[in-house]
Structure 1
Amino acid sequence: MTARPDFEKFIVIVTYGRSGSTLLQTALQTIPGAMIRGENNNLLYPLFRAWKRAHNTRYNQGQAPIPAHGPWYGADEIVPRRFGEELAGLFVREILKPTPQTRVLGFKEIRFHDAEPGEMPEFLDFIREFFPPCRLVFNTRRAADVARSSWWKDVETEKVMEMVEDLDRQYADYVAAHSDTSFLVRYDDYVKDRASLRALFDFLGEAYDEAAIEAAFARRLPH
């Protein structure tokens, strides 16, 4: 098995478009040794779906040895755990590309809701399982402000607001069920009061550098 590059922590920002996630990403980059990458077009999702198919094949069709003339020949030899670890290692090496100095690795993504209905929690479980020690940071913003963004200009305002409110509920439910590995922040809070991010840094076990945070917030974003 190909070894995964080593790191102490893995952080994923889970959110939707125009939630202020780039600002949060920049704030987390103030952690010493942190490399928090940007979006990757939800590339992990098809990897999760591949792992899920392998898992289902092994435990639905491969519960017993299958002869060479069987239609599912080889299904019993699939090792879903190893397959998931290989996929995770490949994603880290070829997509996130940490340096030898990277201590805290991660990324942000705004497309988790592209998952099939009801599948997002399972997708998030996959990430927590195969990128240990993983911390999921859910980022939310007031639905009306999200909907006003030109990024959503091709979608009806009401539909954007409904989507955001539904995702916020899903995020809150997931954090409530996995409070040891998940944390929820609100753009509307930290954009007004930087110090509100202290609780997140405490949760991550990292020092809150006030000067570095202020510098990150003062930097003009490219979008």
Structure 2
Amino acid sequence: MNYKHIFIITYGRTGSTLLQGILNTHDEVIIKGENLNFCHGIFKSYLALKETIEKHGNAKIPSHPFFGSHELDLKKFLNDAYTLIKNQLIKNDDLSTWGFKEIRYTPSRISDENGFILLDYLDFMNLLFPNSAFLFLTRKHTDVIDSAFWRRLEKNKALYEINKFEEVAKTWSQDKNNTFWIDYSHLKENNSKLIEMHDFLGLSYQALRIKKVINTEHSYTGKTENLLHLKNWNLKKHNSSNIQFHTIDKIPIKIEKNSSFELGGIILINESIKNNFEITIEHEGEPANIRWSIISPHYKKKYPLNPHSEKCRFSITNLKATETPVKIFIENKNQKELLFELKISL
């Protein structure tokens, strides 16, 4: 293994969770997920401490406004910060390599009064984590900005964010030998670039493990761009006057014959209706496990006036893949309405 730490540096919807999964196929490596870029707060503390030392580092007189600054120690701060981060993220001291992925590196995420500070921030990360590899992950921009993650921004603004990140990141990495650039297409195609990345890291390329990871849905919900690759099922959604919004957003990449699988999604009852419904299903096989009213913070924010939006996520497990369609209903003592019909071609 060539590095003690591995960091996935990217922006939203590039396939960073997939790359995280690929790296975690290796027993000697653990790559944790996002942490809302909490290292950026530590970086800002480092800058404040550094400026204090540089401008007021000789304040030994008790009446001085910066009294005690002569005892501040940047090296000790870095050691303490490293220990803090490691203790939060890593519980196994026997691991040879650890790190995390983060997507919050664009101008709107890490700028201050001096502008976009990615160069300084990456310098800090390189200093804080000795012997680190930085994996820069990209993806076709039009695919990225069409995702729900970026729709909060006007397209030109989103493209600016992505282009600026890539421009500055390439400037930072061009004279360094501990950086590697890879694209989402290389991950999905499982091609020579992925093998090259393993060589760069000093990891053995385990083809079977990696193929299994690539064929597994990643991220916290199913995404349209992933679901389009499926060819062996068809999902039909039926409208209902009782429903404000409903969707299935969690489904396997591929549904194998006679295998058990899980569906998940959102069923949001209209705000004016008392939710005395339950989810029922028709399917072939053993009884499925149905959960509804799972916490759904995204939809609470999206539908703030609907009291049902706080807990509108559902999950159905132990479904059996057969030729018989899976039908999902909402039902109370007065009515039963079909919401989803899943047909699998096996």
TM-score normalized with structure 2 length: 0.59
Shift of 1:32: 2.6
Structure 2 residues not aligned, in runs of 5+: 222-346
* Equivalent residues, number: 213
Query: 1:139–1:186: 8 Å Cα contact kept in structure 2?
Result: yes
Query: Given the alignment, which residue of 97, 114, 132 partners 2:90?
Result: 97
Q: Which runs of 4+ in 1 moved over 3 A?
A: none
State how far apart, in whole Å, the 2-side matches of 1:106 and 1:77 are: 31
Aligned residue number for residue 69 of structure 2: 75
Aligned residue number for residue 173 of structure 1: 171
SS in structure 2 at match of 1:132: coil
Query: Given the alignment, which residue of 100, 124, 148 partners 2:122?
Result: 124
State how far apart, in whole Å, the 2-side matches of 1:81 and 1:149 are: 42
State how far apart, in whole Å, the 2-side matches of 1:57 and 1:38 are: 33
Query: Given the alignment, which residue of 1, 9, 13 partners 1:18?
Result: 13
The answer to which of 96-105 and 70-79 deviates more is 96-105
Shift of 1:65: 5.0
% identity of equivalent residues = 27
Shift of 1:170: 1.6
TM-score normalized with structure 1 length: 0.90
Cα deviations across residues 129-180 of structure 1 (Å, max 9, x unaligned)? Answer: 11122111111111111000011122112211221122111222122032x1
State how far apart, in whole Å, the 1-side matches of 2:74 and 2:116 are: 22
Matches within 5 A, 1:34-183: 34-62=29-57, 64-94=58-88, 96-113=89-106, 114-116=109-111, 117-178=115-176, 180-183=177-180
Query: 2:105–2:165: 8 Å Cα contact kept in structure 1?
Result: no
Q: CA RMSD in A?
A: 1.5
Q: 1:98 to 1:194 in 2, by over 3 A?
A: farther
Higher relative contact order (CA 8 A, sep 6+): 1
More helix by share: 1
Query: 1:194–1:214: 8 Å Cα contact kept in structure 2?
Result: no
Query: 2:31–2:100: 8 Å Cα contact kept in structure 1?
Result: yes
Aligned residue number for residue 27 of structure 1: 22
Q: Which has the larger radius of gyration?
A: 2
- Aligned residue type for 2:128: F
Query: 1:39–1:107: 8 Å Cα contact kept in structure 2?
Result: yes
State how far apart, in whole Å, the 1-side matches of 2:181 and 2:198 are: 12
